[in-house]
Amino acid sequence: MKRNRNAKIIATLGPASSDPKVIRALFEAGVDVFRLNFSHGTHEDHSQRHAEIRRLEQEYGRPVGILLDLQGPKLRLGTFENGAAELAVGARFRLDLDTTPGSQVRAPLPHPEIFQAIKPGSELLLDDGKIRLRVEESGDSFAETVVLAGGRISDRKGVNVPGSHLPISPLTKKDRADLAFGLELGVDWVALSFVQCVEDVEEARALIGDRAWIMAKLEKPLAIDHLEGIVQRCDGVMVARGDLGVELPAEQIPELQRRIIRECRRVGRVVVVATQMLESMTNSPVPTRAETSDVAGAIYEGADAVMLSAESASGKFPLEAVTTMNRIIERVERDPAYREQIDASHTRADATVADSICCALRKAVQLIEPAVTVTYTSSGFTSLRAARERASSRIVALTPSETVARRLALTWGVHAVPRVEASNVDEMIGLACRAAVSEGFGREGDLVAIAAGLPFGESGTTNLLQIAKITG
């Protein structure tokens, strides 16, 4: 099953999409990677979904990626005497470590790390920013605040601390247990929540090793201050616009999205745009015009993938959401202006042998217009560097590793074919031409551009560019 597009689709599985028939329908409609959101559901739920995805993969003979999304730390208030309280603008409001239920004048905040991070003048956001407080005085166990934006606040609502680095690991005890379980299952990607700095990614890398690729979720404004380092250290990035939008003014999010995509494309990292892409389709069979433009905008900017969250996990129309997203992407990629914009936003490659080969590949594709580009890759490196160039031909990635093929399912323009291995250049050319035909990308007489590394089987050795013609 080849897709008629370069950008990929991630769909979150949940109560609305756990039935095997629904998962199959979502895959057939265009899903390339399924997200298992460990903020919800049990290990048994995720295990069953994982098994169904793998059964589907075997049936269709197409690698399907699985993304494990860790919950990360959740900073929340305690409870209130009557379940809620009304906070008036200008009123004083105390937060402290006392677990006694709260009232209109105070509430428990069982997170000492927050009190360690804040100071007079800091702001606290409650309930996704609906309530805003300014810290007037603080200590190791309390904060006296004034209400800047009031309203009703209820039990266990979330707390955000914009502009402050919280001395907290992105991996909670629950996350570590979920991570161990997911790695044992054999997930392909791990999405790391609450990333604030490079060290957070390195902490996860020490636990994960090479058992999965790491996707840093950029939810905290502080992460943007360390953007270049985070992008360098991870395998992919998720633009988590919903959480970013809590701590930052909404008008800044489009600019940050473009900046993150540009940096990921420059370095050659997978970049995913997420949150509320087709939010109205949670309850409606059709999107708003603004949502359609939002998805299209991410594709025009060159994102590797776009993601559905509640739309596919708990919404009433998961299949319609995937179908709509697929249509939008295909339409954008047929627009001549899309190719113009992708070319105009191309950035200078690194001064390496691998990138010089891939730059030459991009130029060759532009000049001779081959039916397809074929990359040979044992680690995914050659395919990733080729995808960075955003050439106009699709990439068929031949790899001996089924694991690598699944990970590449998230990469722009890549159609991965696992369990293919060559021992010499002549065999490589023959396999490339046959794969171009069997996968539906070429036919007799077409040209095929081939990128690989010699000696075969060694990671990061991209040093060969070959043009071949498909013969009978």
CA dist 370 and 285 (Å) reads: 39
* Residue among 2, 147, 103 at smallest CA distance from 439: 2
Kindly report the backbone phi and psi dihedral angles of residue 86, in degrees, each rounded to the nearest multiple of 5, phi listed first.
-105, 125
* Residue among 401, 355, 383 at smallest CA distance from 450: 383
**166 near 117, Cβ under 8 Å?**
yes
CA dist 244 and 220 (Å) reads: 6
Beta partners for residue 341, in sequence order: none
**264 near 231, Cβ under 8 Å?**
yes
* Residue among 342, 348, 450 at smallest CA distance from 390: 342
**429 near 468, Cβ under 8 Å?**
yes
Tell me which residues are annotated as active site.
Answer: 35, 76, 217, 275
For the chain, give the number of residues. 472
CA dist 6 and 414 (Å) reads: 7
CA dist 66 and 260 (Å) reads: 23
- The CB-side HSE value for 13 (13 A sphere, CA atoms) comes to 32
**107 near 76, Cβ under 8 Å?**
no
Beta partners for residue 236, in sequence order: 215, 270
Interior angle at CA 358, CA 356 and CA 361, nearest 5: 110
